[in-house]
């Protein structure tokens, strides 16, 4: 084939299709539909917010404790609302509206204990779930009380979030804990309790703790008991973690002991293995405890007190060898030293000693699943 023909074939080859991305296929369409849904949701929220602000067609007048009910028709003294919205948003407001007095064709309901500003933020949220960030930060505690009193779960979750994020400190954590318990805010109570336990020394010196001690000594006693219980659980978890780590290290030691006795590693090798073979293997040994067991074996071989009751390292080696014999399934072909000796010795142990060894073996095995991966099988 000539070069001109190759040139022509090259330029006749069609171009490959473009890579898939958001500009192709269905992805962009779905993304646009999702954005349209979000925009529609925002438009509805703005529409309901506008209904609340303009008060067109309102049939309810909401007043606060300090407002004069006689001036309930003045716009600067009242918050206008629609009964259908209030009834659907809160079962408590539904009950109030059924018994509410009527003045100038408006039902009058009173929300006590909070200012007009807080009440306005509360009613606005019932319409559209809209709120100003600064208003929420400023009035989150009062709105939490209202959301609990008038049974508005969505507002309660929002208030808890803002209290955790912007208001909760070590100085007011005791007060907020009591508020959370009173408002049935389980998450807020948990967060407050956790903060108290985290820095109990600082919190116990705050003014809120001193007041709680005088006003609510039962809560103080409950917190102290919970703190002691929490510390006990931490200590127990720490002990169990250390215990599991010990069994895991024993598991690795058993693996390394079988590996050294069967295959050899570093400077220790069986009689049927060459030094060159084991040096190359030891450089890339995959057994974490191999080096430590090797040092222990070398000491055990050369120590003059390598008998039960000898030095500490020899005692440790005797214990490892005995533990191996308990876990080894081989009777005649095991290459680990003294394995058969300890198997014969265990026949003379009493029931209590056997139970202790069986418990240790079961926990070592449980530290890393089954021992099927360990070479406690016939040596080929």
pLDDT in tens, 251-260: 888 888 888 8
Query: pLDDT value at position 28?
Result: 53
How crowded is residue 134: how many other Cβ atoms within 10 Å of its Cβ? 8
CA–CA separation, 310 vs 60, rounded Å?
93
Query: pLDDT value at position 87?
Result: 92
**In contact, 80 and 105? CB cutoff 8 Å:** no
Mean pLDDT computed over 125-153 = 92
Say if residue 24's pLDDT is above 50.
no
Say if residue 333's pLDDT is above 70.
yes
Q: What is the DSSP letter of 163?
A: I
Say if residue 61's pLDDT is above 80.
yes
**Over pLDDT 70: what percentage of the chain?**
77
Mean pLDDT computed over 64-84 = 68
Q: Which of 63 and 370 is assigned the larger pLDDT?
A: 63
Contacts of 66 (CB under 8 A, 6+ apart): 115, 116
Say if residue 75's pLDDT is above 70.
no
Say if residue 330's pLDDT is above 60.
yes
pLDDT band for position 68 (cuts 50, 70, 90): low
Say if residue 244's pLDDT is above 60.
yes
Say if residue 67's pLDDT is above 80.
no
* Per-residue b or e along 81-90, where b marks 16 or more CB atoms closer than 10 Å to that residue's CB: bbbebbbebb
pLDDT band for position 375 (cuts 50, 70, 90): very low
How crowded is residue 312: how many other Cβ atoms within 10 Å of its Cβ? 7
- Alpha helices by DSSP H, listed for the chain, are 3-12, 27-54, 83-89, 91-99, 116-128, 133-149, 153-162, 173-182, 186-198, 200-203, 207-215, 217-262, 275-282, 290-302, 312-327, 339-345, 351-366
Is this model's pTM higher than 0.75 or not?
no
- 111 three-state secondary structure: strand
Say if residue 150's pLDDT is above 90.
yes
**In contact, 144 and 157? CB cutoff 8 Å:** no
Mean pLDDT computed over 292-310 = 72
Q: What is the pLDDT of residues 44-59, one digit of tens each?
A: 788 888 888 888 888 9
Q: What is the pLDDT of residues 311-324, one digit of tens each?
A: 888 888 888 888 88
Mean pLDDT computed over 27-50 = 64
**Over pLDDT 90: what percentage of the chain?**
31
């Amino acid at each position: 084939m000539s070069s001109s023909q190759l040139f022509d074939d090259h330029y006749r080859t069609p171009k490959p299709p473009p890579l898939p991305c958001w500009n192709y296929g269905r992805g962009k369409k779905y993304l646009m539909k999702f954005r349209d849904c979000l925009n529609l949701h925002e438009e509805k929220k703005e529409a309901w917010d506008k209904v609340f602000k303009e008060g067109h067609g309102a049939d309810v007048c909401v007043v606060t404790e300090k407002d004069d009910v006689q001036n309930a028709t003045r716009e600067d003294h009242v918050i206008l609302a629609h009964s259908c919205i209030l009834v659907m948003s809160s079962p408590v407001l539904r009950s109030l509206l059924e018994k509410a007095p009527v003045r100038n064709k408006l039902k009058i309901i009173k929300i006590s204990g909070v200012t007009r500003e807080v009440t306005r933020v509360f009613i606005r949220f019932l319409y559209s779930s809209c709120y100003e960030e600064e208003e929420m930060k400023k009035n989150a505690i009062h709105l939490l009380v209202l959301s609990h009193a008038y049974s508005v779960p969505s507002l309660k979750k929002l208030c808890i979030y803002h209290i955790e994020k912007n208001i909760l400190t070590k100085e007011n954590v005791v007060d907020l804990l009591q508020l959370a318990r009173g408002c049935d805010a389980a998450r807020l109570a948990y967060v407050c309790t956790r903060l108290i336990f985290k820095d109990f020394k600082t919190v116990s010196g705050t003014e809120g703790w001193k007041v709680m001690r005088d006003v609510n000594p039962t809560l103080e006693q409950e917190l102290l008991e919970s703190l002691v219980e929490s510390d006990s659980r931490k200590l127990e978890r720490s002990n169990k973690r250390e215990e599991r780590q010990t069994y895991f290290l024993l598991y690795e030691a058993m693996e390394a002991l079988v590996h050294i006795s069967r295959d050899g590693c570093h400077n220790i090798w069986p009689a049927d293995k060459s030094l060159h073979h084991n040096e190359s293997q030891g450089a890339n040994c995959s057994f974490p405890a191999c080096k430590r067991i090797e040092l222990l074996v070398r000491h055990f071989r050369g120590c003059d007190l390598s008998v039960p009751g000898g030095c500490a390292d020899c005692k440790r080696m005797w214990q490892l060898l005995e533990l191996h014999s308990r876990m080894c399934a081989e009777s005649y072909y095991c290459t680990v030293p003294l394995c058969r000796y300890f198997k014969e010795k265990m026949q003379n142990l009493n029931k209590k000693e056997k139970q202790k060894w069986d418990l240790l073996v079961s926990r070592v095995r449980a530290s890393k699943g089954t021992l099927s991966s360990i070479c406690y099988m016939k040596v080929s």
